[in-house]
Structure 1
Amino acid sequence: MTPDFVATLPVALIAVIGGYALFSLFGFGSAILATPGLLLVMPMARIVPLLALLDAGSSALRAWRGRASIDGAAIRLLLPCMLAGQVLGVGLLRYLPVHETGLLFGCFIALLGLSSLRPQAQWLSGAGGIRSGIGHGLAGGVLGGMFGSGGFLYARYLQRRLPEQERFPATQSVMIGISTVWRVLLCIASGLVDGSLLMTAAILAPAVWAGFGIGHLARGRISRQRGDTLLNGLLVVAGLLLVYRHIG
């Protein structure tokens, strides 16, 4: 363990706790909130496989528990598109320069926050049809491969296709679980996972469960509307700070 890693460990711990508290509240978004903090101490090409490793076990467990309530037709539509999109996304992550990748992520989350703050944002209000499913699956896969942040697109699509209270979270959990495991395999095949990264994941693993605990305590004490506004405001601020940091 290097002195530099020890010095930056508190930043990484806070970022991971915040990201997984968000995941516990909304069912997606761990990478969206954790990545801006982690970018202060490591490059994007390390963050995406790190968060995939941290999320693999819990995502797979949630997917297994919810398998009985999934919507098979939605999975069959989204899954091939997501798998193909992640191949492209991880390939871009592997070869894009570090500086440009961080700048792109800052722009991405700032625009995401601004778009979601608009009432009835048009790009999120499409119907749950076949073309919409293909588009959401591909885009979610590419963003998941590049930034580890594609789950919100699966959620937006499934919310409109599956109004049933049990089928949506179960299907979303399965999509996130498969997406995470597939991303880990792609990162290993691309040479993005090594012994140092595995050790970092082991050290940060307790922060994942701390984040889940905080999210569980906050659930029910904050309305969904207020939570969405807070989340999108954080995205705008974090994105603009990242853009400023990388331009500077």
Structure 2
Amino acid sequence: MLDSALALLPFSALDWLLVVAGIAAAYVVFGIAGFGTALVAGPVLIHFMPLSRIIPLLVLLDFVAAFGNWLPARKAVARHELLRLLPCMAVGCTMGVVFLLQLKSAVLLLLMGLFVSGYALYSLAVKARPQRLNAWWGLPAGTVGGLFGALFGSGGFLYALYLNARLTSTEQARATQSALISCSTVVRLGLFLLAGVYADRALLMLALLLLPVMAAGLWVGRKLTRRLSREAFIRLVTWLVLASGLALLGRYFSS
């Protein structure tokens, strides 16, 4: 069975090494911050498969990872924040699919990279900031997060920024973010199923083979997170957001 699976995936030994390293690194980041897999793994995987296969692959793995993060901490989910963000996220996902099918996404990619990088630089430079963000910011955070998630596979950073500015508990922020990403992946899984993307046996087999790598990266990320204070956690997330923004700009200028 393994031989037939590998026959569907014509990777060399070096290709497999790079793919596994990219996925492991992506899910270490996911275990720490709860987002960022497409931005970390995408630049590696793009050398071996088109983006039209990368995003569905990561959606499958993200769903398992987010569910694994959410399940043990489900009692810590801030339901009021979740209910505030979910409708906006659904609207954003719908808009993202429409834009993806009908518009060129290059300009949106550039604007997203500039916005994310600028916000992260501002957050790192400015020490004094409001201790609690107004709840109305949930509307753009949910909508734009859903939009970017559908377009680029990377909208979780907006949920992270919003929730960390609203909730005093890191555990609550992470659990709520995991619940949101789980819901987002369900929507995208449904769309990919309707489009027939998962009829590709090789793609499903690749996801299955990479599940242990994803689990190992997630475990390492969780271990690292438990050693951080809330302030150090938020600062690390901000650095990861900056790296995400620079990766998006790199993707724009290299395309």
Q: Does 1:30 align with 2:37?
A: yes
Change (3 A) 1:156 1:112: same
Q: Which amino acid aligns with 2:52?
A: A
Task: Note the C-alpha offset of 1:21.
Answer: 0.8
Per-residue CA deviations over 1:69-99 (Å, capped at 9, x if unaligned) read 2222211111011112112223433556xxx
Per-residue CA deviations over 1:16-56 (Å, capped at 9, x if unaligned) read 11111111112222222122222232222222211110121
Q: Secondary structure at the match of 1:119?
A: helix
Contact 2:124 2:235 (C-alpha < 8 Å) held by counterparts: no
Q: Secondary structure at the match of 1:118?
A: helix
Q: Secondary structure at the match of 1:193?
A: helix
Match of 1:202 in 2: 208
Q: Does 1:17 align with 2:24?
A: yes
Q: What TM-score do you get using the length of structure 2 for normalisation?
A: 0.78
Match of 2:193 in 1: 188
Match of 1:128 in 2: 134
CA distance in 2, matches of 1:144, 1:81: 12
Structure 1 gap ranges (5+): none
Structure 2 gap ranges (5+): 1-6
Match of 2:79 in 1: 72
Q: Secondary structure at the match of 1:42?
A: coil
Task: Note the C-alpha offset of 1:145.
Answer: 0.9
What is the aligned counterpart of 1:177 among 164, 182, 188? 182
What is the aligned counterpart of 2:122 among 118, 125, 133? 118
Contact 1:89 1:142 (C-alpha < 8 Å) held by counterparts: yes
State, as a whole percentage, how many aligned pairs show the same letter.
32
What is the aligned counterpart of 1:156 among 161, 164, 168? 161
Contact 1:87 1:186 (C-alpha < 8 Å) held by counterparts: no
Contact 1:43 1:102 (C-alpha < 8 Å) held by counterparts: no
The count of corresponding residues between Structure 1 and Structure 2 is 241
Contact 1:25 1:215 (C-alpha < 8 Å) held by counterparts: yes
CA distance in 1, matches of 2:102, 2:17: 29
CA distance in 2, matches of 1:47, 1:3: 14
Contact 1:81 1:141 (C-alpha < 8 Å) held by counterparts: yes
Q: What TM-score do you get using the length of structure 1 for normalisation?
A: 0.80
